[in-house]
Amino acid sequence: MLKSQLLSLELDPEIRAHIEPPIFDALFSHVAKHPPAKHKRGVPSLTVSRAKQILEIVLPHYRERVAASLDGINRNNFVSFKEVGLLTHQWIHESVKFFRREGAPILREALVKDNEEQRVDYLWSILFSRRLLPLIQGSGLLRDPQKFECCDLAVECIKLWLGDIAKKLGSVDADRFSPSAFFLDTESYMEGEIEWKGRRLHLRGKPDAVMLNGETGRPEVWEYKFGLQGQIELQIAQVLFYLHLLNAVKGQAFETGRLEIFRVTPDLEKESSGTQSEFAEKIEAAFAGYVGNYAAVRRLKIECTLALKQSNPPTMPINLMFSGPGGLGKTELARRVAKALGLPLVDVPATTVRDVDSLLERINQTLQKNGQEPIEVGTDSGLKKMEYPPLVIFLDEVHELRRNADTFLNMFEPKEKRAVGKKVVGDFKNATLLAATTTPGLLPSPFLSRFRIIDLVPYTAEEVAAIIKPVFQKSGKAVEESFLVGLAKRGRLNPRVAIQRAEEMLSHHLFDEKQYPLNEIGLERISTESWRVDTHGLRQLDHTYLKALQSGPRGLSALVSLLPVEREEITQMVEPYLLQLEAISLTTKGRELTERGRLILEG
C-alpha cells in the first residue's frame, strides 16, 4: 500500500545565509559565461523555470553544501507518481484561489472551531464539494479506474495541505483576520531585477502562494512541490528565486520561505503488520528483476492478481495497451504478464497482420508449436466456430493497423473477444489481450476505446546502467558505476541499444584491453571511432537539428526542409530522445532549444 506525507522545510535567514551563496554563485556565473538570448534593458532575462534548468545542469557543484542544511529530510526512496504531482499542484492553486475569492466566511468559521481536527474536517468538506469535485469530474478520472490511485493519493495530499493551513489558522488573530491577507495575491505574473555581488538578472515567474505568518506577522513564500527524487535542491532554489523576486517587485522584506514537500511512500507499517505481502509470490516472481516503470509494473501486478482471483482460467477482463517510445520493454512486460498468469504468450507483430484471417493464422502457428490447437464448438453466423485455449495475445506495434484496426473491433471488444474471419469465427473469451504502440494517435478512436492505456516513461541513465551491468558480470569483468552510466547515455538511454553497445565494448576490450579499457577512456575511443556519438549518445544529425534551433523556434515543416531525413525519422528517432534529454521543448511557436540543448551544442 502507498501513503502520502507532507514534509516541511523552513528557509529562514540562517539557512539562507548558508545555501544561497553556492546557488546564486552557480546561477550568475553560468549566466555570465552563457548569456541568455533575452535581455531587458541590457540585463540578462530569465524565467524561474529557465533558471531551474541552469541549476539542474550545474547542480552537482553545490548539492553537497545544500544537503548539509536538509537534516531530517529524507531525499531517497521517493515514489515518482507524475500524475499525483500534477494533480496536487493544480488543486492547491485552485484551493488558494477559492479561499482568497470565495472562502472568507468559510475560513472565518473555521477559526472558531474548537480544535485543529474540526477545522480540517470543516474546510475539507466545503473545499471538496465546491471546488475539487468539479475538477475531478471534469478530468475524467472517475471514469478511468486506471487513474483511481493517483486521484486518491492527490486527495490525501490536499488533506495534508489543509491540515497545514489549519495549524497556521491557529496562530491568527480572529478579529483582524482577512483571507486576502492570509493568502496574499500571487496570481499575477511578476518580473523584476535581482542583484547578486554586483551582477544583475531580470527574473520572471510566479510562486505557488505567499502567505502571512500568523506568529511573526511577516509574509512568506510557500512552494508546494511533489517530492521527486533528486529534485529537492532545485525546489529550494526556486523558493529562493521567488524571495528575491518578491523583494524586487513588492519592495517588502521577504526573509523567510517554506518548501512543503508532498511525497508518496510505501506504507511500511501496514505492510509489516500483515502476514502476507501485497502481491502473491507467483506474481512477485514473474516481475522480479524488471527495471524501471515501477508504477506501470504495479498496475500490472494488480490486474494479474484480480485475474487469478476472479476467473478460472485466469483472464483479464480488460485489454491493456502499452504506450511509449521504443525500447521501454513493452514485449518484456507482456512476457511477464503471461508468466504471472501461467499462460502461453502469442507475440504477433502488427506488421504481419493484414486482416482477421492472417491474425488467426499467426495465433494457430504459435499454438501448434506449443502442442495446442483451438476446439471446434459448433457454428457462429454460418461459419465454423473455434474456441481458443487460455493464452495471452500480444499485438506489437499495433498502430501499424491504422484505419484497418476497425476490422478487429469485435475481437478486442472485452465482452465479446470474437474474431470473425472469412471461414471461421474465433472465440477468445479465455484470452488476455495486450497491445503496444509508440503512436496511439494513428489508431481510430473506436479501437482505442477498447483498451486501457498504460503509459510507459523513458528509463533513467541509472536504470539502463542496471540493465546492462549483467553483460559485464557474465564475463567476470568488474566495472565502475560511472562507466555503466556513460555507456547507457551513449546508448540513448534505450536498453536494447545500450546492451548492443555494451556487448560491442566488451568484444573490443577482449580483443585489445589496452586500447579499449573498460573505463571512460576506452568508452570515448570507441564512441569516436565506431559509434560516432558524443557523451550524450547524440549523432551528427541530432547536432544539426539542435543548430537549426539556435536562431529561434522552428516548426516541423521548416526543420524537415533543413535536415537530410524524412519527417518520420525526425518525429520518431530524433525528437523523442532530445525531448527526453530536455534539450528541446515543444511550444506554440514550434520546437525550441532549451538551456540544456544550448550547452550540449557548446560542448
Question: How large a percentage of the chain has pLDDT more than 70?
Answer: 90
Confidence check: pLDDT of 271 > 60: no
**Cα distance between residue 435 and residue 321, in whole Å:** 5
Amino acid 415 reads K
The highest-confidence range among 214-228, 271-285, 427-441, by mean pLDDT, is 427-441
Give tens-digit pLDDT for 173-219: 777 777 777 777 655 678 889 999 999 999 998 888 888 776 777 78
Residue 147 lies in a domain: yes
Confidence at residue 155, expressed as pLDDT on a 0 to 100 scale:
83
Residue 367 lies in a domain: yes
Residue 279 lies in a domain: no
The mean per-residue pLDDT over the stretch 384-392 comes to 95
Give tens-digit pLDDT for 486-539: 999 999 999 999 999 999 999 999 999 999 999 999 999 999 999 999 999 999
Confidence check: pLDDT of 602 > 60: yes
Confidence at residue 101, expressed as pLDDT on a 0 to 100 scale:
76
Cβ(151)–Cβ(67) below 8 Å: no
**Cα distance between residue 137 and residue 135, in whole Å:** 5
Per-residue confidence at 224, pLDDT binned at 50, 70, 90?
A: confident
Q: Same domain, yes or no, for 219 and 333? A: no
Question: How large a percentage of the chain has pLDDT more than 90?
Answer: 41
Would the CA dihedral through 466, 468, 473, 476 be positive or negative? negative
Final residue in a domain of this structure, among 513, 531, 549: 531
Per-residue confidence at 464, pLDDT binned at 50, 70, 90?
A: very high
Residue 175, domain CATH: 3.90.320
Domain region containing 118: 2-71+79-266
Confidence check: pLDDT of 346 > 80: yes
Q: Same domain, yes or no, for 34 and 135? A: yes
Q: Report residue 58 as a C-alpha cell.
A: 550545474
Confidence at residue 121, expressed as pLDDT on a 0 to 100 scale:
86
Final residue in a domain of this structure, among 455, 487, 512: 455
Residue 438 lies in a domain: yes
Three-state secondary structure along 332-388? HHHHHHHHHHCCCEEEEEHHHCCCHHHHHHHHHHHHHHCCCCCEEEEEECCEEEEEC
**Cα distance between residue 77 and residue 229, in whole Å:** 7
Nearest to 580 by CA among 408, 458, 450: 458
Instruction: Give the mean pLDDT of the chain.
Output: 85
- Within 142-273, where are the H helices? 148-169, 179-182, 232-250, 268-273
Confidence at residue 229, expressed as pLDDT on a 0 to 100 scale:
58
Q: Same domain, yes or no, for 317 and 434? A: yes
Q: Same domain, yes or no, for 95 and 242? A: yes
Q: Same domain, yes or no, for 486 and 554? A: no
Confidence at residue 71, expressed as pLDDT on a 0 to 100 scale:
55
Per-residue confidence at 552, pLDDT binned at 50, 70, 90?
A: confident
Confidence at residue 389, expressed as pLDDT on a 0 to 100 scale:
95
- Within 3-67, where are the H helices? 13-33, 48-58, 63-67
Give tens-digit pLDDT for 17-58: 888 888 899 899 989 888 887 788 889 998 898 898 888 887
Confidence check: pLDDT of 420 > 90: yes
Give tens-digit pLDDT for 248-257: 888 777 888 8
The mean per-residue pLDDT over the stretch 106-132 comes to 83
Confidence check: pLDDT of 365 > 70: yes
More confident residue, 239 or 151: 239
Confidence at residue 66, expressed as pLDDT on a 0 to 100 scale:
63
Q: Same domain, yes or no, for 315 and 348? A: yes
Give tens-digit pLDDT for 577-591: 999 888 998 888 899
Q: Same domain, yes or no, for 167 and 236? A: yes
Helix H or strand E segment including 542: helix 540-548
Q: Same domain, yes or no, for 189 and 54? A: yes
Residue 282 lies in a domain: no
Separation in Å, CA 486 to CA 145, 187, 374, 482, 536: 39, 43, 49, 6, 8
Domain count of the chain? 4
Final residue in a domain of this structure, among 455, 487, 522: 455
Per-residue confidence at 74, pLDDT binned at 50, 70, 90?
A: very low
Residue 412, domain CATH: 3.40.50.300
**Cα distance between residue 153 and residue 166, in whole Å:** 20
More confident residue, 399 or 146: 399
Q: Same domain, yes or no, for 36 and 67? A: yes
Confidence check: pLDDT of 268 > 70: no
Given the C-alpha cell 505567499, which residue does it identify? Answer: 210
**Cα distance between residue 535 and residue 493, in whole Å:** 12
Q: Same domain, yes or no, for 215 and 318? A: no
Confidence check: pLDDT of 572 > 90: no
Residue 287 lies in a domain: no
The mean per-residue pLDDT over the stretch 74-102 comes to 70
Q: Same domain, yes or no, for 213 and 232? A: yes
Confidence at residue 517, expressed as pLDDT on a 0 to 100 scale:
95
Q: Same domain, yes or no, for 409 and 505? A: no
Residue 449 lies in a domain: yes
The mean per-residue pLDDT over the stretch 99-106 comes to 78
